[in-house]
Structure 1
Amino acid sequence: MNNASLFQSQDLAQARILEPEHLLLPKGPVGGHAVVIEEGRFSDIGTVQDITARHPGLPRLSLPGHLLMPGFVDAHHHVTQSYGKSLVYGEPSEIFRRVWVPLESTLNARHLYASSKLSALEALRGGFTTVCDAGTRSSEDLDAIVQATTDVGIRCVLGLICNDKHSAVLLDAEPILARAQAHLQQWEHHDLISPSLAISIPEAASDAMLHRIYAMSEEAGRVFQTHANEHLVAVERSLNAHGRRPIEHLAHIGALGSASLLAHATLVTPSEIRLLADLNAAVSYNPVASAWKGNAVAPAEAMRVQGIRLGMGTDGTRSDAFRMMDYGEAAQRFAFGMMVGDSSCGAGWTWLDMATRGGADVIGLGQQTGQIRVGAQADFLVVDLQVPEMTPSWDLPWELVRIAARDQIRAVVVQGKLRLWEGQPVDWDPLPLLEEVRELARHAVAQSDIRKLHAPSTEHLARHAEQEKAMA
C-alpha cells in the first residue's frame, strides 16, 4: 500500500489521538500504543485500548507503518551562519576567525531574519524540533532571530554573546551585564524562545566576565554556553596565558558547573573528564564538526559512562539529525572503539537518546521536550518505516541511527502544531525566502573580510588537471 494514501496533512492536524505502529518512549520503541495531544502537550499515553476507552469522543488517526518519536534536539547551532555553508569546506580549524566573525559582523536585521529563517527551515527538514543557538557576532538586536524562528515554528534556545575582550581592548562591563540581564528577562516566558548567555570562547572574555555571566545564568536557571577545548591552538593559548587548559581555567574561576554547556570539548584529559562529571557540567558532542574541521573527536561514550550530561549538536554544519547520529556513532568507533575491540560503541540507543532526551536536558529544556511523556510539549516526528532500507526490521534504535534518512520524515510537529509536511512548510511558501537569501548572501559575503586558505573545489580540480597534463 502507498503510505501517501493512509493519511493527509489535514488528518494529522485535526486528530487528537494518534495511533502509530511504533511509539518511541524513554524505555524504547513499543507497539500497540497511542498518545493524546491537547493544548500542545501530550496529555495521555497508553495502550490503544486504554486510550480509546478513556477518551471516546476525541478524533483519532491510525498511523500504520509509521513511528512516532520525539523531535531531535540540536544542542549546538549557529543559526545566523547559514549564508556561509560551503565557504568553510576544506578549511583548517578556527574558521570562526577567518570566516564566521567577518561574515556575521556585517549582518543587519534583515540578514539576521533571512539567515535564521533559513536555518530554522533546514533544521525542521532534518528532524530537529529544537535548536540551541550559540549566539551571533552581529551587533543587531536579536528580535529578528526570534521573529524568524517563531515564524517557522521551531523551539529555540537563544544565546546572547557577552564577550568583553576585543583584540587587546577590555570593554566596559556594565553595558554588557545590563544587556545580559535584559535578555534573560525579555524571553523568560516566551512559548518557543528560551534565553541563554554565552561567551564565544573563554579567551574572548575576562575572568571576571566569565564568572559573572556564568553566575547570572545559574541564578536564572538558564544555560551558559561557550566553546571549550575545541582546537589545539586554543588549548595552547590557554596554557600560555593561565597555566591551565580552558576547561580547567573555567573551573578555577568559578565559571564551570551545572549551568554550563560546553560546545565540542574534543581535547580533554582524563582529569578534565572527571572535573566535568564532578561539577555536573554538560557537553554538546558535535561529530560532524569534528569530521569536517576539528582537531579531534570528543570521547562521548567515555564521558557518558563517567556521568557527564551529553547532547548532540550540528555546529551549524548540516541540519540532518539522522546523519548526525550516524556520524556520532561512527566517530566513536573510528576514534576509540576499533583500537580496543569495542564493536558496540554505545549499542545504538546511546546516540538516539543523546540526540533527543539528552539534548533537551543539556540545553535546559528537559522538562519540556525531548521525550514522549505525559506533560511534555508535543514536539514529535512521524517517520515512515515502510521503506526498503528498513525492511525487515530487527532492532529499531540501531536502524534509526545507521539507516534511517530524513526523507522518511512525513511530518514535523512542534507544540502540537503541524509545521512541516513531507519536507515543506504547511502555512508558508519557502521559495521566496530561498530567492531572497541567494541575493542577500551574495551581498553579505562580498562585504565581508573573509579569508579562505584553500581554493574552491572547482579551482582545485583545474589545478589538478594542469598538474596531470604537465606530468604526462
Structure 2
Amino acid sequence: MREPADLLITDCSLMTPEFDILDNQYVAIRDTLIIAIGKAEEIKDKYEPKEVLEGRGKLLMPGLVDAHTHTCQQFLRGRTLGEYPMIWSRILVPFESSLSEEDTYLGAQVSCLEMLKSGTTSFAESGGVHMHKVAEATIESGLRGAITCSTMDTGPFIPESMLASSPGEAASRIEELYRAYNGAGEGRLRIWFALRQVMTSTPALITLMADKAREYNAGLHVHLAEHRDEVSYCLQNYQKRPAEVFDQFGALGPNMLAAHNVVLSDGEIALMKERGVKVVHCPRSNFGSHGFPKTPTLMQQGLSIGMGSDGAAGSSLSLFDEMRVFRSGLHAFWGLPIFDPVVIPAHELIRMATSGGAQALQIEDQIGTIEIGKKADLILIDINQPHISPTHRMIPTIVESVNGSDVRDSIINGEVVMKDRQVLTMDEEKILYESGRALPRVAVRAGI
C-alpha cells in the first residue's frame, strides 16, 4: 500500500545544499514538509499524491528569500532613479507618511504578486505604515514573511506622523501587531521589532527595541552603515561608529538583521561577527547610492550574508537581477584590481539569496535548502530555453542568465501558489487594474 503525499514533483533537475545538480529527481511533500527525495524507482511507487507537478525540463531549487524590502514603497517605482542623496529622507519616508490604509494594502498586494512571479517565497519587511494591511496581503498571497513597523522617535527631517511620541508608544504599536498576526497564515507570518536606523533612534528607543525583541524571541530589523552621513552622525554624537552605537545600547546580537552594511570598518565587522549579527546586502540600491560593501572581507570573517531588493522604488524585486548585478559590481570593484575572477563565486551568490536569507530570517532550520524534513518552499525554473540551455555549468548560468520570469512554479509551505506562471492565490488582473488606478491619486497626495 502506497503512503499518502500531498504533492509529488516528478522528473526534475534538483539543486542540492552543496550546489550540485542532480537529474531525474522526484520529490514528495506532505503536511508542508519535504518527506522524500530520490529517483523514480525510489519514490514513484511508494507514494500516492493528491497532486502531481511535472518537473521535466525544469530545475528545482529553494525559494528565494528577500531579506530586506519595503512593500510600502511599491508605488514609488520609477521615481528615484537619478535623484541625489539623501533619497530616503527627502522622498522615501515622506512618501510613506502620506499613504492611506488602502494605498498600503494595494501596494503590498502588488509587491507580493511581483515576489511570487520572480521566485521569492519569503521576505523580511523592514517596516512602514499601516502594517496590519501588509500582514493581511501577505497572508492572502501565501508568502512567508517577517514584518514590522517603521520605528523612529527623532530626526528633524522625519514627518511628525512617522515619529513615535515615545519609545513606549513605538513598542506598543509593534506589540499590538504581534498579538494580532504573529503565527498567522499557518505559521508563515512572524512579527519582528525594528529600528529604522541609528540617526532616527534615541538611545532609549534602541535599548527598548532590543529588550523587546529578546523578550518576544523575535528578530530586530535595522538599517546599518548604509551611508557616510550615518557614520558622521555617530562619530559626532557618540564618538563611535554605527555598529558600535547599537552595541553600546544592547541591540547588536544574533537576532539582528542588519541591512546594507556598505560603510563598515574592519573593527565593526569583527564586532558584528562576535555578536552573530546577520548581514544583508541590497546590491542595486547600494551600488546606485552609497558604494561597494566589503563583502569579500565579510565572507572571509564567516559572517552570515543574505540578499535583499530594498523595495521597488529604484528597481524590480527580482533577486535573480540582484545576484547578477552583485557579481558584476563586486568583480569590477574588488576582483579586477587584483586579478581575482572568483572574488565572489556564483554558488555564494545563490547561497545569499537562499540559505543566507533563511539565516537572516532566523529560520534556516526550516527553509533555504532542499532537504528531507524542511519546509517545502521551492521554485521550478524552466531551463529548457536557449538563454539557459545547453550549459557546461548550471550554477554560474543561474547567476548570469536566469531571470525571474523563468520561474514557472512556486510552492510555499507545501502549497502550489503559482503554476505555469499563473498565481493561484491572488487575482493578478484585478490587482494590476486597481493599483494602476490608485497610482495617480497616491502621487498627488504625496506631492511627487
Q: Secondary structure at the match of 1:165?
A: coil
* Residue identity opposite 1:279 in structure 2: R
Q: Which runs of 5+ in 2 are unaligned?
A: 158-162
> Highest CA radius of gyration, 1 or 2?
1
Q: 2:152 aligns with which of 148, 151, 163?
A: 163
Tell me the equivalent position of 2:267.
271
Tell me the equivalent position of 1:430.
428
Shift of 1:98: 1.3
Tell me the equivalent position of 1:188.
182
Q: CA distance change for structure 1 residues 119 and 61 in 2, over 3 Å: closer, same or farther?
A: closer
Q: Secondary structure at the match of 2:387?
A: helix
Tell me the equivalent position of 2:171.
177
Tell me the equivalent position of 1:310.
305
Tell me the equivalent position of 1:97.
89
Q: CA distance change for structure 1 residues 301 and 30 in 2, over 3 Å: closer, same or farther?
A: farther
Tell me the equivalent position of 1:27.
18
Aligned Cα root-mean-square deviation (Å): 2.0
Q: Which runs of 5+ in 1 are unaligned?
A: 1-13, 451-472
* Residue identity opposite 1:325 in structure 2: M
Q: CA distance change for structure 1 residues 253 and 73 in 2, over 3 Å: closer, same or farther?
A: same
User: How far, CA to CA, are the matches of 2:254 and 2:319 in structure 1?
Assistant: 26
Q: Secondary structure at the match of 2:66?
A: strand
- Determine if contact 2:29/2:414 at 8 Å carries over to the other structure: yes
2:38 aligned with 1:40, yes or no?
Answer: no
Shift of 1:174: 2.3
Tell me the equivalent position of 2:324.
326
- Determine if contact 1:102/1:449 at 8 Å carries over to the other structure: no
Tell me the equivalent position of 2:160.
none
Q: CA distance change for structure 1 residues 170 and 220 in 2, over 3 Å: closer, same or farther?
A: closer
Tell me the equivalent position of 1:115.
107
User: How far, CA to CA, are the matches of 1:123 and 1:70 in structure 2?
Assistant: 14
Shift of 1:105: 0.7
Shift of 1:400: 0.4
* Residue identity opposite 1:17 in structure 2: L
Shift of 1:162: 2.7
Tell me the equivalent position of 1:339.
337
Shift of 1:59: 6.0
* Residue identity opposite 1:172 in structure 2: S
Shift of 1:63: 2.0
- Determine if contact 1:284/1:311 at 8 Å carries over to the other structure: yes
Q: Which moved more, 1:314-323 or 1:43-52?
A: 43-52
Q: CA distance change for structure 1 residues 320 and 59 in 2, over 3 Å: closer, same or farther?
A: closer
Tell me the equivalent position of 1:383.
381
* Residue identity opposite 2:169 in structure 1: P
Q: Secondary structure at the match of 1:21?
A: strand
What aligned pairs does 1:4-153 form with structure 2 within 5 A after superposition? 16-28=7-19, 29-55=21-47, 60-136=52-128, 138=129, 140=130, 142-153=131-142
Tell me the equivalent position of 2:213.
217
Q: Which moved more, 1:54-63 or 1:88-97?
A: 54-63
Q: 1:154 aligns with which of 125, 143, 146?
A: 143
Identity of aligned residues (%): 23
What aligned pairs does 1:243-254 form with structure 2 within 5 A after superposition? 243-254=239-250
Number of aligned residues: 433
- Determine if contact 1:25/1:372 at 8 Å carries over to the other structure: yes
User: How far, CA to CA, are the matches of 1:438 and 1:58 in structure 2?
Assistant: 38
Tell me the equivalent position of 1:367.
365
User: How far, CA to CA, are the matches of 2:191 and 2:164 in structure 1?
Assistant: 25
TM-score by length of 1: 0.87
